């Protein structure tokens, strides 16, 4: 069976790309789910040229348009990240991805509830990582999740169903399928939210 291509935050595969030179290996994603998918690893900070190791960063300001600021030297890395992210999602569009797994709590890759600090230095878990936001805006129908949420069996099952369903849909769409094949596809997946969007 042809493996499904999934984007993933590189540190989750054990790659030492984090700000401190470490990783956040998730053995389930690498060893179990990895048997069925072909991962395309992405590390926004390392790939956009910030280096390894690098100064830690956080999101500050407006939760809908936060700035990416280094913690100690107070450098604003927002424009650098946005420029790179827009180029990277265009490249990823050629990879035939069926989903993406983000690193939770990351100021670049967190999918939801990322800390955004206000003018008084008080955090609120209301943000989205800069790369994650640009990715999800570019691919609004693509299944996405965070590694932490995938430890919930219901969320994991839902995500896996959605990526397999998208793969099957693309296979039908890319060949001259009969009307009955399309009806069969929609009948088998009528209760899945992905199919309702398709």
Instruction: Name the domain count of the chain.
Output: 1
Instruction: Let me know if residue 193 belongs to a domain.
Output: no
Confidence of residue 198 (pLDDT cuts 50, 70, 90): very low
- By residue range, what is the domain housing residue 28? 4-55+76-115+126-151
The residue with greater pLDDT, 198 or 135, is 135
Spatial separation of the C-alpha atoms in residues 180 and 167, rounded to whole Å: 18
pLDDT tens across 19-64, in order? 999 999 999 999 999 999 999 999 999 999 999 999 999 999 999 9
Instruction: Let me know if residue 166 belongs to a domain.
Output: no
Instruction: Let me know if residue 21 belongs to a domain.
Output: yes
Instruction: Let me know if residue 82 belongs to a domain.
Output: yes
Instruction: Let me know if residue 159 belongs to a domain.
Output: no
Task: Give me the CATH number covering residue 37.
Answer: 3.40.50
pLDDT tens across 62-121, in order? 999 999 999 999 999 999 999 999 999 999 999 999 999 999 999 999 999 999 999 999
Instruction: Let me know if residue 62 belongs to a domain.
Output: no
Instruction: Let me know if residue 161 belongs to a domain.
Output: no
Mean pLDDT, to the nearest integer, of 169-176? 75
The residue with greater pLDDT, 187 or 114, is 114
Q: Give residue 158's pLDDT.
A: 95
Mean pLDDT, to the nearest integer, of 125-151? 97
**Joined tokens for residue 24:** 């956040």
Instruction: Let me know if residue 180 belongs to a domain.
Output: no
Mean pLDDT, to the nearest integer, of 124-142? 97
């Amino acid at each position: 069976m042809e493996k499904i291509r999934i984007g993933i935050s590189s540190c989750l595969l054990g790659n030492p790309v984090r700000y401190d030179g470490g990783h956040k290996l998730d053995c389930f994603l690498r060893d179990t789910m990895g048997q069925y998918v072909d991962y395309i690893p992405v590390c926004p900070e390392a790939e956009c040229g910030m280096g390894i190791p690098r100064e830690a960063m956080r999101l500050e300001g407006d939760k809908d348009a936060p700035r990416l600021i280094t913690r100690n030297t107070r450098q604003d890395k927002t424009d650098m990240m946005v420029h790179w992210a827009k180029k990277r999602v265009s490249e990823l569009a050629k990879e035939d991805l069926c989903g993406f797994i983000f690193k939770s709590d990351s100021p670049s890759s967190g999918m939801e509830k990322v800390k955004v600090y206000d003018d008084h230095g008080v955090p609120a878990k209301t943000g989205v990582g800069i790369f994650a936001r640009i990715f999800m805006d570019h691919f609004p129908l693509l299944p996405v999740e965070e590694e932490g949420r995938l430890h919930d069996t219901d969320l994991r099952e839902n995500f896996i169903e959605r990526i397999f369903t998208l793969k099957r849909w693309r296979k039908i769409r890319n060949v001259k399928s009969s009307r009955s094949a399309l009806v069969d596809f929609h009948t088998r997946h009528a209760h899945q939210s992905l199919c309702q969007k398709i």
